[in-house]
Homo-oligomer: A and B are copies of this chain.
Amino acid sequence: MTIVGVRGRAERLLNVLGERDLDQMMVSDRSNIRWLSGFTGSAGVLIISASGHVLVTDGRYTEQARDQLDAAGATDVEVVSARTLGEQHNAVIAAAGGKAIGAEASVVSYGTWSNFAARVDLVGVDGVISDLRRSKDDAEVELIAQAADIASHALADVAPMIAVGVSEREIRDELEYRMRKLGADGPSYETIVASGPTNAALPHARPTTRQFSEGDTVVIDVGALVGGYHSDMTRTFVVGEPTDEQQRWYQLVLEAQMAGLDAVVAGARVSDVDRACRSVFESVGLSELFVHGTGHGVGLDIHEEPFLGASGQTELVMGDVVTVEPGLYRVGTGGIRIEDLVVVTSEGHQNLTTHPKDSPCLPSRRTI
C-alpha cells in the first residue's frame, strides 16, 4: 500500500494562517487531520502551531496514532492521550498557550466552540485546509488511480450479469463484494444502481429490489476506497436493444461529457467546464433534464473542493482531481449519466477511469 507522506503540509498551513495573523490552528475535521498527520482514528484534535504540533486523542488510539504519524512522516507531532472529553479540552487549551487559535467554524459544534471560547480566543478559519488539499501529490493520485481501477475492473466483471430479472440490489452487492476482492478497503460511497423509468430518473436513487426489465436504462455509480482515497465513476447500460431515443440521449450525454473533459485544464474556471457540458444539452433543448452540477473534487472526501457548477469562479489548478458527470433524467424514460474521474496535469488532464463508455450496450449478452 502506498503511504502518503505529510511532510511540509503543516508548514504550508502555517504560512496561510500567518497571512491572517494566526500562528496556530485546532483541526477537528477527520479528513483534514488525516491529510496533515496520517492519523485515521475516529476521535482526536490536531493542533498545528508554530511552537509545536500536538495530536490529542484518547487511550484507544494512542498507539495507533504514534504508528500512523511516524509512517506518514509526521514525526514532529507530539501525541497526547487524554481519557475524558474534559481532559482532552484541557490538553488543547494547554497546547494553545494562551494565544489566539484558528478553528473550523463549519465543523466544530456550537457546544464545543462555546466551551473553548470561554477559555481561549477562537478564530473561525474555514476553507483553508480544503484549499490546500486540492493539489494532490503523486502518492495521492496513485491511490485514487488504484481505487478508480478497482471500480472499473469490478464493473467489467459484474456488467455481464445485468439482465432481465436481476435486481438493483444484487448488482450492488456483487460490485461491492468484488471491489473488496480486488483490494479496496470498501465502497467509496453508497453504490447507486438505478433502473427503469422511475428509479433511473432519480440522480441519487438507492438500490432497491426492483428487477430489470427489457428496455430499462440502468445507471451505475460506483467507486472504491483505497488508503483513505476515493474514486467515483458512472456508466449507463440498456437492458436489451436501446431504442432510438435512448441511443440519441446516450450520444448527447457522451458528447456533453467529452466537451466537459476537454475544458478541464489548469486555469479554466469551474463554470467553464459546467458550461461546456450544459451547452450541448441547450443546443437541443434538453438542458432542463440535466438537473445537477457537472462535478466535484475527489480525494480523502468523496465530495470536496472544487465544486463544478454553473456559477463557480474558482480556477482549476494542477493536481485537482475532479469528476465530470453530465446526465439526462426524465421520469417515464429513465436516466443516462456518464462520469469519469480526471486529474489536472501540465498537459491538460489525465483520465483515471478506464471502463469503456462508447456505447450503452452491455459488453456481452452472456449471464454468469
Which residues does A use to contact B, with CB under 8 Å? 59-60, 103, 105-114, 124, 126, 169, 173, 176-177, 180-181, 203-204, 291-292
Is chain A's binding surface mostly helix, strand, loop or mixed?
A: mixed
A107 contact set on B, CB distance < 8 A: 109
Report Cα–Cα, A19/B212, bound state, in Å. 53
A291 contact set on B, CB distance < 8 A: 59
4 interchain residue pairs of minimum CB distance: A110-B113, A105-B111, A106-B111, A105-B110
| Shortest distance between the CB of A160 and any CB in chain B (Å) | 19
Report Cα–Cα, A112/B111, bound state, in Å. 12
User: Which single residue of chain B is at the shortest CB-CB distance from A59?
Assistant: B291
Of B105, B169, B176, B180, which one neighbours A169 at CB under 8 angstroms?
Answer: B180
| Shortest distance between the CB of A126 and any CB in chain B (Å) | 7
Q: Jot down 21 A-B pairs with beta carbons below 8 A, ordered by A.
A: A60-B204, A60-B292, A103-B110, A105-B110, A105-B111, A105-B114, A106-B109, A106-B110, A106-B111, A106-B112, A107-B109, A108-B109, A108-B110, A110-B113, A110-B114, A110-B124, A113-B113, A169-B180, A173-B180, A176-B176, A176-B177
Report Cα–Cα, A106/B108, bound state, in Å. 9
Report Cα–Cα, A176/B106, bound state, in Å. 34
Q: Specify how many copies of this chain sit in the oligomer.
A: 2
A60 contact set on B, CB distance < 8 A: 203-204, 292
Report Cα–Cα, A105/B117, bound state, in Å. 14
User: Which single residue of chain B is at the shortest CB-CB distance from A108?
Assistant: B110
Report Cα–Cα, A233/B52, bound state, in Å. 42
A110 contact set on B, CB distance < 8 A: 103, 105-106, 108-110, 112-114, 124
| Shortest distance between the CB of A106 and any CB in chain B (Å) | 4
A114 contact set on B, CB distance < 8 A: 105, 110
A292 contact set on B, CB distance < 8 A: 60
| Shortest distance between the CB of A156 and any CB in chain B (Å) | 19
Report Cα–Cα, A107/B111, bound state, in Å. 8
| Shortest distance between the CB of A54 and any CB in chain B (Å) | 21
Report Cα–Cα, A252/B45, bound state, in Å. 37
Report Cα–Cα, A177/B177, bound state, in Å. 6
User: Which single residue of chain B is at the shortest CB-CB distance from A179?
Assistant: B173
Report Cα–Cα, A59/B106, bound state, in Å. 23
Q: A106-B111, A111-B126 are in contact. List 4 more A-B contacts (CB 8 A).
A: A60-B204, A105-B110, A105-B114, A106-B112
A108 contact set on B, CB distance < 8 A: 109-110
A203 contact set on B, CB distance < 8 A: 60
Report Cα–Cα, A188/B204, bound state, in Å. 21
A169 contact set on B, CB distance < 8 A: 180
| Shortest distance between the CB of A272 and any CB in chain B (Å) | 22
User: Which single residue of chain B is at the shortest CB-CB distance from A124?
Assistant: B111
A59 contact set on B, CB distance < 8 A: 291
A112 contact set on B, CB distance < 8 A: 106, 110
| Shortest distance between the CB of A130 and any CB in chain B (Å) | 14
A204 contact set on B, CB distance < 8 A: 60
